[in-house]
Chains A and B, each alone.
Chain A
Amino acid sequence: MYRQLLPILFLALGLAACADDSEQYQQDVHVVATMGSGLVLATENGSSLSYLKADLERPSFERFFEAKDATISWVRRGPTGPLGKELFALLTPDDARDPHQTVRLVRLEPPSKDSLVYELALAFGSVLFSPDGRTAILANFSGDEAHGFYNPGEIALLDLQAEASKDNPRSLTLDTKGRPIYSIFFLDPIEISGQTRRLAAVSLSGAFKLIDLEDPTAALPIVPLSAASNASSVAVVEIQAQSERGARPAMLFVRTNDGSDILAVSLTKGALSDTSLAASINQLDTAGKPQGLSLLVDENTGALHVIALANARLAVIDVDTADRFFVSLGESMDTLIELPDGDLALLGQGSTTVRFLAVKDVLELRDGALTVLKLHQAISDMVQLDELRFLCASNGSEALLIDLGKRAATRLYLGESGYNWNQGEVFEDTAYLLLPDNALIGVVDLAASHPSSLMLDDFASALFLLEDKRIGLAWHDIDWGRVTMFSLDEPTRATAVIYDGFLMAGVLD
């Protein structure tokens, strides 16, 4: 009898011996980023990162990073510029009392195991990257989980092109006058008083503070957003920069989450130092809560105008004088998109039309500058496929494809009713729709308006398109790990490959 029990005993001992290597199996695993030809996975409060390499013939799964005596607090994809294949992970020491353990920022390029480590003074909750990929700012945003006492104005400025050193990243304490930081907006390079400045706007409660990425100690203003009694809840939603033009100063145009003004903030050289700036505000009233804005220069006079979408109108406002007129849209819209040709497209939840504004003609023609694309149904459940294409659900058996680039709307007939999708991706001229309630991926040939189904073995919770490998990947929430991979050149079940059990790797070692 004992001999029969021996294998079972050994199996039990083996299972009991497993600890760290079964981390993925025991804890929540989630995808933190697509990276190159695969996915980066992390576990909640874990200390390792793994890479699932997508390949229809030989997929693989490998742990590429392990933090020693530390926990990975968060992982963020690097900037989308030249460094677009990098990951940044914040490591917090397991024993905060140990003076030899510090908060670190790790820079990785999966699946490589090489890493670059930066020492930080504080466990920041967020990191943001400048669009040019040169700078990262770490900060604690309002809403981030943070522990202990810390200065809410403390940030770290990281030069991504320089070596790690005691000055890189550079710790700074912004004087936010006690206001928490909501977010950070990197501005396009802006010409001010003959100098090109790289600025960021730190959105605070009720204000924003400018910082110079090249000279963080420059005396730059904190600009208030509202004088109303609820000012502390007002935050920046959008900010656009305009360089100086001749005698006209450089300006920022700020849209907030409250009120009916666009703030036009003039920036000029300040008196405190060569790099200081002075600001003055012109509140441009849009007569409604602005949902988007665009800028227009009058070719005849050089005057700058703001075009702001506010409810069922566009307010066109002369920045110099605040003089304005309105262009009626006929119905309420909440989305303003700048088209590649400079025109604007306007649409929104519930709208039955898409309107196009010929921006260069609006000062002369006003309402006459609008053209209308009538839709056969009101827009609802709109999913953005790419920059200019949207898919809207209808009654479940029908969808509406809005192509702003072609200024056209196409009805798509999808077969049975009752389908709804919560994620859409586009690769070349094919849209892929994730239907979480159905074990299938909707595939729509946008050129031919032809839908088809890619059946799955199981419900999927996320969909990824790996353009480098021309592979689509559906993620299934299964403890031992399962993905369905398919070719983007031939998105059918026939080409699909199921990669299963990768999270079990090492369990039985």
Chain B
Amino acid sequence: MYPIRGNIATWTAVLGWILLSACSDMASDAEWGGTPPADDYDTGGGDGAGEGEGEGEGEGEDTLPPEQEEAPDYLVPKGSGRFVFISDTPADTVVVVDSETLAIEQVPVGARPTHVVPLGDDNAAAVISLGADLVTLLQAAPERRVKPEEIEVRPDTNALAASADGSRLIAWFNPSFAEISGAPATDQEISIIDTTPGDTAVRHTTVGMHPFAVRFSADAKRAFILTESGINIVDLDDPKAGRPALLSPLEAGSFDPDLTDIAIAPNGELALIRAEALKELVTVSLVSGENDVRHYELPEAPTDLDIAPDGSFATIVLRGSKRLGICALPLPEDPGAEPCTYVNLGDRIAGVASLSADSDTALLYTTVAKDEDDLRRLTVVTGLKTSKVVSSALLERPIRSVAMGAVADTAVVVHDRVAVKDAASMPYAYTLISLPDLGTKLQQLPSAPGQLLLTPEGDFGFLLLPQERRVDILDLNSFIVDGLPLGSTPTAAGYAASTDKVFVAQDHPSGRMTFIGVHDESVKTVTGYGLNDDIEY
């Protein structure tokens, strides 16, 4: 193991950067992230397509490199209920902050705690300690000390994944965190934890080669470990279950997490896979446990694959032929049938789609194109299940990432860095866009933005600006933006649902966090986690 130095904020920033680099496909409710500017790519050619809707037309060779999608999750402080949990790796503790009273408790956990995940929204979280092969369950309550519960996990596990309700937890080896944890003797062992209070249990098993993601079914009865060998299906309810079944929709060993999208339907019954250069949509049933794999031929290799939040359809983006495919779920029984209908985007090139929470709107854009106009264009398709209306806006600058709040009437587009043309220009910017009318407001920045957080109600956004040492508060109704200067460099943000507060962790040797009331505009900062924990009564 490597000797580790540094304070809480340094650890948070390092681990966050690592996860960003991995480009994993973990989507969370209200968080989208900022990344360093995209690398330059050689752009290939692309023919235009005709106007109007079309089906099954395969036009345009797409020779451009893969799209760059933002990785939305971070190793950041996590909120559960009214509490915020922060891993303090050097101190071997987790700092628990009550967002209501700002009371702080430092809870000793195993050596080198790193990854923290919330367990539902019930003031609970779990942390994995790399130096102790332990997971600690933390249940917080107002005016009471946290009672930690330790559970031994397999060595070499370095990350946690939790079901949405927090009842199940899986410790596994996430390659994104290898720089911190070190190379594993094996990355194929996982620990499955039942976090039921008073009745916690753990069992261990092995999965396919090089796992790279963990998903859960909505009912938390099954977990899906995505590996380069295939998809392992873990029965979470059966404590005596043996090795989880492995489904191999592609040739074993051919999964490349960087070039493959695997989307799992919310009901946990189906997985859809696309791969670079593969002109197919591959599905595998997750119900029977048998390798029920189907290959649906596509006119071209899609550049993006998503499943709608309501699970009723999937979308694929055909960049070369400038089309959006809408594939009703379940797909046709016959793999020879056309799996999708297509929306013609006209001359609009798009390689990435982002779907609204109500599954009715898609925002499409590309991060790799030869023409700068293509990089600046945001295409909107509304009425995905009905009218499928296409419109677009040519923004001021190339698009780096797009985020849409819970209410699909506003989007926030973060732009790539541009050269400063004149005294009125700044190198960085983001655009607020109203939907579907596409009214825009450009907000320039002198330095690179960090994490963007949109509140669950979709009425506010919080954008961290580390070099400016401030956070921009975006009113997504009026588009008014107010900057809130901070005492220290912001490193990460999250949302505490019970108290309706956004917490912003900052780089400070003693630990600093600012709590911003989303709707009451209150601002309170607490500095000195150790000092606050030492307050006695």
Contact = CB atoms under 8 A, between A and B. Distances in A.
A280 B536 contact: no
B486 A322 contact: yes
A278 B101 contact: yes
A332 B512 CA distance: 29
A283 interface: yes
Contacts of B101: 268, 278, 280
A110 B530 CA distance: 52
A320 B527 contact: no
A270 interface: yes
Contact of B537 (A222, A280, A317, A318): A222
B411 to A, nearest CB: 28
B102 A280 contact: yes
Given A221-B537, A322-B486, A247 B528 contact: no
B524 A322 contact: no
Interface in A317-343: 317-318, 320-324
B280 to A, nearest CB: 53
Nearest to B104: A280
Nearest to B529: A227
A281 B485 contact: no
Contacts of A320: 523-525
A297 to B, nearest CB: 15
Query: Number of contact residues on B: which range applies?
Result: 20 to 34
B531 interface: yes
Given A222-B536, A226-B531, A247 B522 contact: yes
Given A268-B101, A321-B525, A221 B536 contact: yes
B525 A224 contact: no
B251 interface: no
A177 B534 contact: no
A248 B521 CA distance: 11
Contact of B536 (A177, A249, A272, A285): A177
Interface in A202-230: 219-224, 226-227
Given A227-B528, A281-B528, A283-B528, A321 B537 contact: no
B252 interface: no
Nearest to B142: A271
Interface in B89-107: 101-104
Contacts of A219: 537
- Give the most central of A222, A248, A282, A321: most B CB within 10 Å: A321
B535 interface: yes
B526 A280 contact: yes
B536 A324 contact: no
Interface string A226-250: 1100000000000000000001110
A482 B103 CA distance: 62
Interface in B347-375: none
- Give the most central of B486, B510, B532: most A CB within 10 Å: B532
A349 B179 CA distance: 54
Contact of B531 (A177, A248, A283, A318): A283
Given A227-B510, A271-B143, A322 B525 contact: yes
A279 to B, nearest CB: 5
A430 interface: no
B43 to A, nearest CB: 43
Contact of A281 (B527, B536, B537): B527
Contact of B103 (A222, A224, A280, A322): A280
A283 B528 CA distance: 6
A282 B143 contact: no
A266 interface: yes
Nearest to A225: B531
Given A281-B528, A323-B485, A224 B104 contact: no
Interface string A260-288: 00000010101110001011111111000
Nearest to B512: A322
A174 to B, nearest CB: 12
A177 B535 CA distance: 12
Nearest to A319: B525
Interface string A170-184: 000000010000000
B114 interface: no
B102 to A, nearest CB: 4
B510 A283 contact: yes
B487 A281 contact: no
A114 B66 CA distance: 97
B527 A283 contact: yes
B401 interface: no
A227 B88 CA distance: 15
Nearest to B488: A322
B457 interface: no
Interface residues of A, number: 33
Nearest to B100: A268
B531 A272 contact: no
Nearest to A323: B485
A276 B524 CA distance: 21
A321 B486 contact: yes
Contacts of A317: 487
B39 interface: no
Nearest to A206: B534
- Give the most central of A220, A224, A226: most B CB within 10 Å: A224
B526 A281 contact: yes
Contacts of A283: 510, 512, 527-528, 531
A318 B512 CA distance: 14
B484 interface: yes
Interface in B493-537: 510, 512, 514, 520, 522-528, 530-532, 534-537
A222 B487 contact: no
Given A323-B469, A324-B487, A281 B522 contact: no
Contacts of B524: 249, 266, 282, 320
A227 B527 CA distance: 12
A280 B469 CA distance: 23
B537 A323 contact: no
B535 A281 contact: yes
A1 B89 CA distance: 101
Nearest to B102: A280
Nearest to A224: B534
- Give the most central of B485, B514, B522, B534: most A CB within 10 Å: B534
Contacts of B142: 271
- Give the most central of B103, B485, B487, B488: most A CB within 10 Å: B487
Given A177-B536, A222-B535, A323 B487 contact: yes
B144 to A, nearest CB: 10
Contacts of B104: 280
A8 to B, nearest CB: 73
Contact of B484 (A270, A276, A321, A324): A321
Contacts of B531: 224, 226-227, 281, 283
Interface string B119-133: 000000000000000
Contacts of A276: 537
A223 B530 CA distance: 12
Nearest to B523: A320
Interface in B56-104: 101-104
A330 B534 CA distance: 38
Contact of B527 (A222, A279, A322): A322
Interface in B464-500: 469-470, 484-488
Contacts of B536: 177, 221-222, 224
B527 A272 contact: no
Nearest to B515: A320
B36 to A, nearest CB: 26
14 contacts: A221-B535, A222-B537, A226-B531, A227-B530, A248-B522, A271-B142, A271-B143, A281-B532, A282-B527, A318-B485, A320-B525, A322-B514, A323-B485, A323-B487
**Closest 4 A/B residue pairs (Cβ):** A322-B487, A280-B102, A323-B485, A283-B527
Given A271-B143, A322-B525, 11 more contacts: A221-B537, A227-B510, A227-B534, A271-B142, A280-B532, A280-B535, A281-B532, A283-B512, A321-B523, A321-B525, A322-B514
Interface of B: 101-104, 142-143, 469-470, 484-488, 510, 512, 514, 520, 522-528, 530-532, 534-537
